Amino acid sequence: MTFQVRICQHNSGNTCRSWSIDFSAPHHGTRSPHKRKGTTALYSADMCSSEEARSTLKPIFDKYCKAIDEQQWNKDSILRAKLKELYPSFQAASFYDADAVLIQTGKKCVYGREAIKQELEKIENLMGKTTTKVSGEDYQMTTEFIILNVNFDTSTDKMGVVKGKTTQIWRKRNDTYLIYHEEFSFT
């Protein structure tokens, strides 16, 4: 399996670096550098089993989905009380890293937790109350990241059923994982 990775830094100009990672060797990635603007980026990673990735991320992802369905952007709730130990200021946006990026493929990109919260609120206004079912969950894990691909069917008050897919890259921060990069599209 080979991943093409591209990282763009937008805060000080559009500097992009990309590289390929070949994970066909068991548990070890090899690196193939690509040059962008005179820079060579090298990366290697240890892959973990998809079951380990699933068992690590699934409970967090389920709480994230519940927060989205319950439209918890900044609200207190019973769920917040239950999760206070794990997430002191529980809200859907708290699942995102401070440097996270949310991309609606081919349409829009927002950067940062506050901008993502505002974007989620806009989506809430378009859809109304939602209930989401996910399927086709595929988890991959490196030492610092868990990559999750899912399909979703979201029943909405205002738009009927909306189907799509999302790819999330969760980054390890302290003792938990936060969404560092999310791309989604509606089909």
Cα-trace Rg, the chain? 17
Based on the domain organization, do 115 and 154 belong to the same domain? yes
Rounded Cα–Cα distance for residues 23 and 46 (Å): 9
Instruction: Give the span between the Cα atoms of 95 and 181, in whole angstroms.
Output: 11
Look up the pTM and report it. 0.61
Quick check: is 14 in a domain? Answer: yes
* Spatial CB neighbours of 1, under 8 Å, sequence gap ≥ 6: 22, 23, 24
Residue 81 shares a structural domain with residue 173: yes
The domain spanning residue 90 has which CATH number?
3.10.450.50
Cα(147)–Cα(166) distance, integer angstroms = 11
- Would you state the pLDDT for residue 15? 42
Range of the domain at 82: 50-186
Q: Which of 4, 11, 5, 186 is nearest to 98 (CA)?
A: 11
1: enclosing H helix or E strand = none
Domain membership flag for residue 45: no
Domain count for the chain: 2
Whether 27 and 61 share a structural domain: no
- Residues 164, 48: Cα–Cα separation, whole Å: 27
How many other CB atoms sit within 10 Å of the CB of residue 68? 20
Nearest-5° Cα angle at 159, 158 to 164: 140
Same domain, 33 and 62: no
pLDDT for 64: 81
The verdict on residue 174 lying in a domain is yes
Structure tokens at 145: 């990241």
Is the distance from CB of 42 to CB of 21 less than 8 angstroms?
no
**Consecutive sets of 10 residues in the chain, 187 residues long: mean pLDDT of each?**
45 43 44 42 55 86 80 49 44 87 96 90 87 92 93 94 96 92 94
How distant, in Å, are the alpha carbons of 44, 45, 128 from that of 103?
25, 25, 21
φ, ψ at 123 (rounded to 5°): -65, -40
**Based on the domain organization, do 124 and 176 belong to the same domain?**
yes
176 and 145 in a common domain: yes
**SS3 state at 60:** helix
